[in-house]
Chain A
Amino acid sequence: MTTVAASMVKTPTKAITGIDGFDQITGGGLPSGRTTLLVGGPGSGKTIFALQFLVAGARTCAEPGIFVAFEETPHRIASNAQGFEWGLAALVPEQIFFLDAQPLAETMQSGSFDLIGMLSALDAQVEHMGARRVVFDALDIVLELLPDAASKRREINRLHAWLLSRKLTGLITLKASGPETSPMSQQPYGFMQFMVDCAIILSHGVVMGVSQRNVRVQKYRGSAFDENESPFVIGKSGFDVAITRTLGRVDTMVSSERVTTGVERLDTMLGGGYYRGASVLITGFPGTAKTTLGGAFAEAACERGERTLFVSFDSDGAEVMRNLASVSIQLERFTESGLLKMVSARTITGSAETYLVRIKALATDHQARCVVIDPVSTLSSSGNEITARGVAERLIDWSKAYGITLVCTSLLDEMRSHSDGGAPLQISTLADTWIHLNYLVQAGERNRGMSIIKSRGTAHSNQVRELILSDSGVTLADVYTAGGEVLMGTLRWEKESAERVAKEGAVVAGELLRVRLDAEEAELQVRLKSVETELVAKQAEKKLLARSAEGRERGLSLERIQMQELRGGDAAGSANE
């Protein structure tokens, strides 16, 4: 509960109200030992606020409390409170005492009177149970009975003085008439706002047909507080005040763990997937497969065994699952095992605030680690856009605070198609990763293009990819750029097949060349062989020639010797020279 409260130092002089958000606005609750005025119109939640304040006192601060009921019977108040998860019945009457102070209808009034009787009765009860908190619910009822403004003031002062002297933390609720709360003009109660230490205004209005509850702290002596109106919802646990981003809040744990997107190539494009605890925005026109990407993420999360919540504003949970099954995203097995919770939010009606509170409650119930909201832009269609933006901000804050990986899809208005994806909630500035899907119409075809507009803290591809949905799943394909134009769909296919043909041709041509070279090589080798043989023949011939020349020489010399011998005239030696 106190994960976000840090900017305002909690001091023991504050009495916590147990209202998540309100204690953060006021830095810890109502002024302890002082009086707080709670002003609101009919049905603005004054009694619930007051009861929750007492329950918190009894349950968490060991401060018993007294509820003085001027307008309703304690029985009715208690039975109305059964609807909240407070366990009020267990606290009555030891921890919370109801004092029925409704003026009896049959009581006749004659002349002026005072509240001393009540205060002495309260004194007895305070002492009896050690009460530290007192609520006066609908004090205006009894003030109405007082004959003049002077006596009204006197009794208010008496009450205030009594609370102060007993050091009780008092909460006085008053009705404010009319839809517009302007208590300054409401005499004689206006002066109460100056008297008390803290004044809170509850308002309940209708903005463009949607109920909108707001709480505002008008004054708080001696304490810093958030001065703006904060929307709130009344849920199962009572008040839930939506707090806006507070400066200086503790930074939530940042994880560098990556989780898969469910589409392999998208993981690669993002350098490994989304960061755990990141908020991802997927924008696109209707039919650009936003839900499919969300579904792929949910499936991958469930496959890791992480509890996942899928909130669909567009269609029924079963319908979403059937549609996703057609692209081989099988979610049914996970809803059966309980890992995945599909919620059709069409059934939730109300303001953006209501949606947020319901989504938070559902996610907390389900202990979800991954949440898919499809599409988050629905928030801005109910209630005004300004509130919805605050809601989107808080949604992201909340998911970050709890380390929940949040994937939101956002529908883009066709009319705004020209501005490249200015998401109406402007959560695009808050989201960590923003993936944009659009159509490229080209050569009579519509093809889905996907690009990563931003992804904080991760290197990411700058390429536009074609998103292909098929029976076997979701894949991304490279796109071709030809002459500065991006090619997708059939054009891409044509380009691809042309390239394939060209490649095949190149292979064949290469083969042909190799064969030809082989042939040439073989021919050359054959020629080499014949030349070698010729050489050998020539050498042999040459040898033969040499030998025959020698033989002839020898023959001649023999003949000369024989001739000399025959002549016998000369010495034998001279013939050999």
Chain B
Amino acid sequence: MSDMPLYQFRLFTAGSTPNSMQALANLSSFCRAHLAGRHEIDIVDVFDHPKRALSEGIFLTPTLVKLSPLPVQRFVGTLNQPEQLLAALGIEPARNEN
């Protein structure tokens, strides 16, 4: 596990709107399934931090930013397709590891 990188995520949400809630739920279950013990999720609510949304160019919510490992990647939407996320992040499906 030591060679496995730590995944740092930042999820921009818009309060408790359906899309944002759904994205948070989807991300959490995705991380539990595939990145257990090696992920961090930082949640930024654009209602609380509108200037941050402005400076970071977050216009569509929810937006997921993968900060590390590099390169930085962005995902927009409810993250309802785990396979797509896996492929994009280059993560081997968890059950193959076990």
Which chain B residues lie closer than 8 Å to A112 at the CB level?
A: 19, 77-78, 80
Say if the beta carbon of A568 comes within 8 Å of chain B.
Answer: no
B45 to chain A, nearest CB (A): 9
**Interface-located stretch among B1-9, B32-40, B47-55:** B47-55
A458 to chain B, nearest CB (A): 67
A121 & B58 in contact (Cβ 8 Å cutoff): yes
A contact set with B: CB distance below 8 Å: 99-101, 103-104, 106-118, 120-125, 142, 145
A142 & B73 in contact (Cβ 8 Å cutoff): no
Please pick, from B17, B23, B59, B79, the residue contacting A121 in the complex, using a CB distance under 8 A.
B59
Offer 9 A-B interface pairs, CB within 8 angstroms, sorted by A. A100-B57, A101-B59, A112-B77, A112-B78, A113-B19, A114-B61, A116-B20, A121-B54, A123-B50
B51 & A114 in contact (Cβ 8 Å cutoff): no
A110 & B14 in contact (Cβ 8 Å cutoff): no
Complex CA–CA separation, A124 to B80 (angstroms): 30
Complex CA–CA separation, A101 to B84 (angstroms): 24
User: Which partner residue on chain A sits nearest B78 by CB separation?
Assistant: A111
Knowing that A117-B46, A121-B51 touch, tell me 6 more A-B residue pairs with CB under 8 angstroms: A99-B54, A108-B84, A114-B14, A115-B61, A118-B53, A118-B60
Say if the beta carbon of B88 comes within 8 Å of chain A.
Answer: yes
B54 & A125 in contact (Cβ 8 Å cutoff): yes
* Given known contacts A106-B73, A117-B14, A111 and B79 CB-to-CB distance under 8 angstroms: yes
Complex CA–CA separation, A145 to B60 (angstroms): 10
Please pick, from B26, B53, B77, B85, the residue contacting A113 in the complex, using a CB distance under 8 A.
B77
Say if the beta carbon of B98 comes within 8 Å of chain A.
Answer: no
* Given known contacts A103-B60, A117-B46, A121-B58, A111 and B22 CB-to-CB distance under 8 angstroms: yes
Considering residues A108, A117, A121, A125, which has the most beta carbons from chain B within 10 angstroms of its beta carbon? A117
Indicate with 1 or 0, residue by residue over B55-98, a CB within 8 angstroms of chain A CB atoms. Answer: 00111111100000000011111111100110010000000000
User: Which partner residue on chain B sits nearest A97 by CB separation?
Assistant: B54
Complex CA–CA separation, A122 to B58 (angstroms): 11
* Given known contacts A121-B54, A142-B60, A110 and B75 CB-to-CB distance under 8 angstroms: yes
B46 & A110 in contact (Cβ 8 Å cutoff): no
Complex CA–CA separation, A111 to B61 (angstroms): 11
Complex CA–CA separation, A110 to B80 (angstroms): 6
**For the complex, would chain A's binding face be called helix, strand, loop or mixed by DSSP majority?**
mixed
> Which 4 A-B residue pairings sit nearest by Cβ, starting from the closest?
A111-B78, A116-B14, A118-B59, A124-B50
User: Which partner residue on chain A sits nearest B12 by CB separation?
Assistant: A117
User: Which partner residue on chain A sits nearest B57 by CB separation?
Assistant: A100
B74 & A104 in contact (Cβ 8 Å cutoff): yes
Which chain B residues lie closer than 8 Å to A122 at the CB level?
A: 54
A115 to chain B, nearest CB (A): 7
User: Which partner residue on chain B sits nearest A104 by CB separation?
Assistant: B74
A113 & B62 in contact (Cβ 8 Å cutoff): yes
Which chain A residues lie closer than 8 Å to B54 at the CB level?
A: 99, 121-122, 124-125
Please pick, from A103, A111, A120, A124, the residue contacting B14 in the complex, using a CB distance under 8 A.
A120
* Given known contacts A110-B84, A121-B46, A121-B58, A116 and B17 CB-to-CB distance under 8 angstroms: yes
A117 & B58 in contact (Cβ 8 Å cutoff): yes
Which chain A residues lie closer than 8 Å to B15 at the CB level?
A: 116
Complex CA–CA separation, A101 to B61 (angstroms): 13
**Number of chain B residues close to chain A: CB under 8 A:** 34
Complex CA–CA separation, A106 to B54 (angstroms): 19
Which chain A residues lie closer than 8 Å to B19 at the CB level?
A: 111-114
* Given known contacts A104-B74, A110-B81, A124-B54, A115 and B22 CB-to-CB distance under 8 angstroms: no
A111 & B80 in contact (Cβ 8 Å cutoff): yes
* Given known contacts A117-B12, A117-B14, A142-B60, A110 and B77 CB-to-CB distance under 8 angstroms: yes
Which chain A residues lie closer than 8 Å to B61 at the CB level?
A: 113-117
A166 to chain B, nearest CB (A): 13
Which chain A residues lie closer than 8 Å to B88 at the CB level?
A: 108
B14 & A107 in contact (Cβ 8 Å cutoff): no
Which chain A residues lie closer than 8 Å to B77 at the CB level?
A: 109-113
Which chain B residues lie closer than 8 Å to A115 at the CB level?
A: 59-61
User: Which partner residue on chain A sits nearest B84 by CB separation?
Assistant: A110
Complex CA–CA separation, A104 to B22 (angstroms): 22
User: Which partner residue on chain A sits nearest B47 by CB separation?
Assistant: A120
A120 & B46 in contact (Cβ 8 Å cutoff): yes
Which chain B residues lie closer than 8 Å to A123 at the CB level?
A: 50
Complex CA–CA separation, A109 to B85 (angstroms): 10
Complex CA–CA separation, A139 to B60 (angstroms): 13
User: Which partner residue on chain B sits nearest A125 by CB separation?
Assistant: B54
Complex CA–CA separation, A474 to B68 (angstroms): 89
B54 to chain A, nearest CB (A): 4
B78 to chain A, nearest CB (A): 3
Which chain A residues lie closer than 8 Å to B84 at the CB level?
A: 108, 110
Complex CA–CA separation, A123 to B49 (angstroms): 11
Please pick, from A100, A120, A145, the residue contacting B53 in the complex, using a CB distance under 8 A.
A120
Complex CA–CA separation, A514 to B47 (angstroms): 121
B74 & A106 in contact (Cβ 8 Å cutoff): yes
Complex CA–CA separation, A122 to B51 (angstroms): 9
B75 & A107 in contact (Cβ 8 Å cutoff): yes
Complex CA–CA separation, A113 to B18 (angstroms): 9
B74 & A107 in contact (Cβ 8 Å cutoff): yes
Considering residues B14, B60, B88, which has the most beta carbons from chain A within 10 angstroms of its beta carbon? B60
B75 & A109 in contact (Cβ 8 Å cutoff): yes
Complex CA–CA separation, A121 to B45 (angstroms): 11
Complex CA–CA separation, A121 to B53 (angstroms): 5
Which chain A residues lie closer than 8 Å to B85 at the CB level?
A: 110
Complex CA–CA separation, A109 to B43 (angstroms): 19
B76 & A113 in contact (Cβ 8 Å cutoff): yes
* Given known contacts A117-B12, A120-B14, A124-B51, A109 and B76 CB-to-CB distance under 8 angstroms: yes
User: Which partner residue on chain A sits nearest B71 by CB separation?
Assistant: A106
Complex CA–CA separation, A125 to B57 (angstroms): 13
Complex CA–CA separation, A103 to B58 (angstroms): 10
User: Which partner residue on chain A sits nearest B45 by CB separation?
Assistant: A120
Complex CA–CA separation, A112 to B60 (angstroms): 10
